[in-house]
Amino acid sequence: MEHSGVTVWFTGLSGAGKTTISQVIARRLKEAGCKLEVLDGDIVRTNLTKGLGFSKEDRDENIRRIGFVSQLLTRNGVIVLVSAISPYRDIREEVRGRIGDFVEVYVNAPLVECEKRDVKGLYQRARAGEIKGFTGIDDPYEAPENPEVECRTDLEELEESIEKVMGKLTELGYIAL
């Protein structure tokens, strides 16, 4: 498949469906022969940003580092799928400005739905006070104001979300299906 470099940034609360959507898209793009890299927030935190905590400053630095790697890959013709909560709007906009070829995907599900899906028990621990500064509980999540794509994972099927993202990448000329 013909394609050009782009960073597709999946943002949303923990449990909203970012990783699920990006994994299926990654599989489809890989099968189509695209040069592709997946940067999942949880995996990045154990490698690239190990040692960073969850203060606003550390979260911003985490996103800057993910953004830096994404920028390098994107400018070399790679499709980069980033799946990271990235709760603060200003740092997402900063990274967008640096990368240029950037498609923001807001994976939107209400907090109550994300809590129902919480297989790791993180929300429960946050509500019990065991985890401080948890996004959506005692730390804010600033939703994108103008994302290129919004996936309402509480209202649409997985396939609808995937088609929205793939359709937008095609519409913007990053991939040719």
The residues that are catalytic are: 86
**Region at 162 (left for phi over 0; alpha for psi -120 to 50; beta for the rest):** alpha
- Domain, as residue range, for 100: 6-110+141-171
Number of domains in the chain: 1
pLDDT of residue 80: 97
pLDDT of residue 1: 66
R_g (Cα) of the chain, nearest Å: 16
- State which residues of the chain have pLDDT below 70: 1, 48-49, 177
Q: What angle do CA 19, 57, 146 make, to 5 degrees?
A: 50
pLDDT of residue 6: 97
Q: Is 153 contained in some domain?
A: yes
Q: Is 135 contained in some domain?
A: no
pLDDT of residue 136: 85
Q: What is the pTM of this model?
A: 0.93
Q: Is 161 contained in some domain?
A: yes
Contacts (Cβ under 8 Å, ≥6 apart) of 10: 18, 19, 21, 22, 81, 82, 83, 84, 105, 107
Q: Is 44 contained in some domain?
A: yes
Query: In 3-state terms, what secondary structure has residue 32?
Result: coil
User: What are the tens digits of pLDDT across the range 13-60?
Assistant: 999 999 999 999 999 999 999 999 999 877 777 776 677 777 788 888
Query: DSSP characters for 85-124?
Result: ----HHHHHHHHHHHSSEEEEEEE--HHHHHHT-TT-HHH
Rounded CA-CA distance 40/19 in Å is: 7
What CATH number does residue 167 fall under? 3.40.50.300
Q: Is 30 contained in some domain?
A: yes
pLDDT of residue 131: 85
Contacts (Cβ under 8 Å, ≥6 apart) of 57: none
Contact assessment for residue 14 and residue 85, using Cβ atoms and an 8 Å cutoff: yes
